[in-house]
């Protein structure tokens, strides 16, 4: 929301989309959140409504419109595609639930998953949104986030700046009963062709199976899976 393209009407419209995506807003709330004059906010919101980029709920508040969903559905998610090619092998190797997460603000979203066919498991359906405050995937995504984001996340997190430094050093993170009682997990970073961390690949399951130091058992396999996804992203960027 803080970026400036130099095209005023575009920047203001995008700012409105960001605010509406965060929570439903009436005109007054939209003005408070954006700092725009009422006439400007109303004119731009109505214009976005014409193109169905925003819509109104039953209370008349602006919410994300159907065009945003259609655009997202049509967009090719190469990170997810790469993950779906690798996660099944990791699931077979470990016998546990595996996931691929992407950070969106103060949440992480499961964009791909593979589950064992039977037995006790830690099921995380695709599309699930989990907080960035705890869990091995949250730690990985926080460890390679920009400094301003890290400062914001640390306010509510179980991890510390010192622990993130250690995660960056060793290249993986683990958690035991942080997000859910009885569940352990381990995660490693996925990088794009430029080396930026764009996702975290994870395995999760009962502490009774993974143990209280799951990294000792599965770090090498999780890192190998993350590297395999990263290699596919690099290959896609070259083609």
**Mean pLDDT across the chain:** 90
* pLDDT(69) > 90: no
Q: Residue 4: pLDDT band by 50, 70, 90 thresholds?
A: confident
- Give per-residue pLDDT as tens, 180-229: 889 999 999 999 999 999 999 999 999 999 999 999 999 999 999 999 99
Q: Where are the domains of the chain?
A: 8-73, 78-238
Q: How many helices (H) and strands (E) does the chain have?
A: 10, 8
* pLDDT(1) > 60: no
Residue 204's nearest CA partner among 145, 138, 105 is 138
Equal CATH topology for 8-73 and 78-238? no
8-73: what CATH class? mainly alpha
Would you say domain 78-238 falls under CATH 3.30.450.40?
yes
122 Cβ contact list (under 8 Å, min separation 6): 96, 97, 180, 183, 185, 204, 205, 206
Rounded to an integer, the average pLDDT of 118-144 is 87
Rounded to an integer, the average pLDDT of 140-156 is 93
Q: What is the pLDDT of residue 9?
A: 92
């Amino acid at each position: 929301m803080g970026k400036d393209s130099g095209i005023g009407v575009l920047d203001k419209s995008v700012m409105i989309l960001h605010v509406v995506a965060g929570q439903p807003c009436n005109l007054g709330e939209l003005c408070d959140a954006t700092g725009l004059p009422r006439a400007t906010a109303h004119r731009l919101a109505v214009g976005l409504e014409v193109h169905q980029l925003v819509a109104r709920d039953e209370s008349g508040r602006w919410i994300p419109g159907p065009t945003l969903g259609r655009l997202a559905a049509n967009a090719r998610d190469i990170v997810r595609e790469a993950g779906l090619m690798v996660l099944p092998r990791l699931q077979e190797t470990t016998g546990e639930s595996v996931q691929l997460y992407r950070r969106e603000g103060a949440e992480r979203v499961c964009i791909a998953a593979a589950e064992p066919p039977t037995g006790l498991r830690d099921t995380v359906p695709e599309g699930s949104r989990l907080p960035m405050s705890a869990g091995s995937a949250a730690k990985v995504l926080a460890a390679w986030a920009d400094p301003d984001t890290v400062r914001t996340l640390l306010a509510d997190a179980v991890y510390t700046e010192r622990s993130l430094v250690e995660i960056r050093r060793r290249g993986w993170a683990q958690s035991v009963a942080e997000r859910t009682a009885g569940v352990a997990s381990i995660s490693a970073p996925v990088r794009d062709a430029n080396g930026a961390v764009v996702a975290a690949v994870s395995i999760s399951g009962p502490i009774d199976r993974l143990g209280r130091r799951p990294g000792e058992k599965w770090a090498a396999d999780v890192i190998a899976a993350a590297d395999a996804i990263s290699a596919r992203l690099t290959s896609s960027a070259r083609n």
